[in-house]
Structure 1
Amino acid sequence: MAILVLYATVEGHSRKIAEHVAADLETRGHMVVLGDLREPGFAVPGRFDGIVLCAPIHIGRYPDPVIHFATDWKDALNSVPNAFVSVSLAIASESEEEREHARAYPLGLEKKTGYRPQFVHHAAGALKYLEYDFFKRMMLRHISAKEGGPVDTSRDHELTDWDALDRFVADFSDLVVRTEDAEPSAI
């Protein structure tokens, strides 16, 4: 099966997650095309057996390229098995209220764009302390401390549960195969 994996990224971690998803799908025998939504020239989504979108939440919203793509291609996205990986730090919070808030973002994307993900996975992002300027580092350290997260600013912290992501990819891969097997052959 041919699967399109597209991502938008702000600090690079959503790209890493998308690359991981693509590699996992390839090990499961799929042909995968990986693309950055900010770059022109990726394939038309309607020509794939499945599509995975990966996007981070930053300052309470998904990046504009995700919104535009989902709006422009909602019919193609909704016509094939599709999955959405929502990347946020809030999903790793100790606060159930924060996690619930993070879980609501894909519904907001659906209402805004008309794109209806069949599978949604909430992946915790990364704290890139070494890449932040002083003010952003201190602000995120404060927020992380309040949420029970890592506060050591001398290194970066990946909070992604890679095993949970692999299970999600396995379930999505199975859906794509089942859907393809269920479709009548064209003669």
Structure 2
Amino acid sequence: MEKVLLLHSSSDGQTVKILQYIEKQLGDSCQCELFDLNQLPELDFSRYQRVLIGASIRYGHLNKKLYEFIAVNQKALEQHKVGFFCVNLTARKEGKNTPETSVYMKTFLKKSPWQPKLQAVFAGALRYPRYGWFDRIMIQFIMRITGGETDTSKEVEYTDWQKVEEFAVRFSQC
């Protein structure tokens, strides 16, 4: 049975939800272990055949812990079958939802010494009622200027689960 390491940097939980969905898609042929990059123990990469990293954008940036993790583990990442995906609300729009068209993925690839071969960009979820006052106002402002949902009583999931499923298949075959 193949062991798969699932790592996340998630702001509000949608990245974890996506990883859990991918884990289900991988099925019984894989044994998956899920860890938060912000609370990561020492890892022995030799225990895993595949590694999948999911990271969310918050206020236009990936978490700095992701870059720290890559700096420490770049060699191990380059020696494994690895996939990387980015989750953001901008990806809800056609033309901003692929690695080639996402400004966030492009920025990541410029900043990161590690260049994952398997990449994806997924739309996240808008969870106004769960946000604190500051986040709710800031995200509402961002959504207003980008033409998104501004009703703070709503929760909207923009994730394209078919696209996630297709990525899971590609990840299982890489």
TM category (shorter chain) comes to 0.7 to 0.9
CA contact (8 A) 1:2 1:49 kept: yes
Q: Measure the CA separation in 2 of the matches of 1:153 and 1:8.
A: 24
In the alignment, structure 1 residue 87 sits paired with structure 2 residue 87:
yes
CA root-mean-square deviation: 2.4
Larger radius of gyration: 1
SS at the partner of 2:4? strand
What is the Cα deviation at residue 121 of structure 1? 0.9
Distance 1:16 1:97 in 2: 21
Contact 2:123 2:159 survives alignment (8 Å): yes
Aligned 8 A contact 1:4 1:34 in 2: yes
For structure 2, the 5+ residue unaligned runs are: none
Distance 1:113 1:138, change over 3 A: closer
| Alignment partner, residue 184 of structure 1 | none
Give the Cα–Cα distance (whole angstroms) in 1 for the partners of residues 135 and 100 of structure 2. 22
1:66 and 2:66 aligned: yes
SS of equivalent to 1:167: helix
Length, aligned pairs only = 173
**Relative to 1, partners in 2 of residues 1:46 and 1:67: Cα closer, same or farther, differing over 3 Å?**
farther
> How far does residue 99 in structure 1 lie from its aligned partner after superposition?
7.6
Question: Structure 1 residues 50 and 30 mapped into 2: Cα distance closer, same or farther (>3 Å)?
Answer: same
Going from structure 1 to structure 2, the CA distance change for 1:107 and 1:15 (only over 3 Å counts) comes to: same
Check the 8 A contact 1:53/1:84 in 2, yes or no.
yes
Corresponding residue for residue 75 of structure 1:
75
Following the alignment from structure 1 to structure 2, what is the Cα–Cα distance between the partners of residues 101 and 148?
22
1:34 match? 34
Distance of 1:101 and 1:83 partners within structure 2: 15
Distance 1:43 1:53 in 2: 14
Structure 2 residue aligned with 1:147: 146
**Deviation of the 1:166 alpha carbon:** 0.6
TM, length-normalised to structure 1: 0.80
1:33/1:100 CA distance change after superposition, 3 Å: closer
Q: CA deviation at 1:53?
A: 0.2
Letter in 2 for 1:116: Q
Structure showing the higher strand proportion among its residues:
2
* 1:118 Cα offset (Å): 1.2
Structure 1 gaps, min length 5: 176-187
